[in-house]
Amino acid sequence: MKKKRTASSGFTLLEVMIAVALFGLVAAGIIEVFIMCNKYWHSMSLRMQTGQMADMALLKMIGGCGTNTGIREASIVELQTNAYGHPYPLLAVNKYWETGASPPAAADSSHYMHVGCAYLAPYGPDGSWRLILSNSSDGIKCIDYNSKMRNLLLSPDTNQTAAARNKRILICNYVSAARITNNADGTVEIQLTVEKRDGLFRASNQAGLFIKKRN
């Protein structure tokens, strides 16, 4: 008597190829969705970070830093726009906002400001400014915006000596633009833009407000 042959229970080559192709399509779709979500999260995180930095900079300028009062407590506010920042345009600049390097410390000499002095040709005003604040109880201090170094610093001592530099307090880095308007009615308008880059991602946020001096 001949034995009855049974059909093979395995998969054919065509079935295996179809299964692998479907799995590849599903895996590729999942990876693409993951990459898109990761990019969106990274972009939104950077945007939120620049927004928080801009808001915090305004708060420090208005309310002050630590024991140093800000614009709100000043009885006299003087804006000096005839300024330009160090380093000069033709010298090497630590472009931390482009390279991802750490910003220089507040006491670093690269934050040097030339204010109210004769310009060395071909240098001149570059958007930098100094805001001098004073009142009877807290003395004279200033807020400097150095467009070359893209930062805002509060200086309890307006001198540029090494001892004075050690007293400087960082308000904000990554400030690509900042404008102050000292109005005749006693209000001060502040507008600034914080822009930051992280790898291929770049985000910027603008913030601004009017502040009325108390004194």
Residue extents of the structural domains in the chain: 48-212
Cis peptide bond upstream of 104, omega within 30? no
pLDDT value, residue 43: 81
pTM score, whole prediction = 0.79
Sign of the CA dihedral running 76, 158, 179, 115: positive
pLDDT value, residue 208: 92
pLDDT value, residue 84: 81
Output DSSP code: residue 121: T
Angle at 32 between CA 31 and CA 34, to 5 degrees: 65
How high is the mean pLDDT of the chain? 82
Spell out, as residue ranges, where the chain has pLDDT lower than 50: none
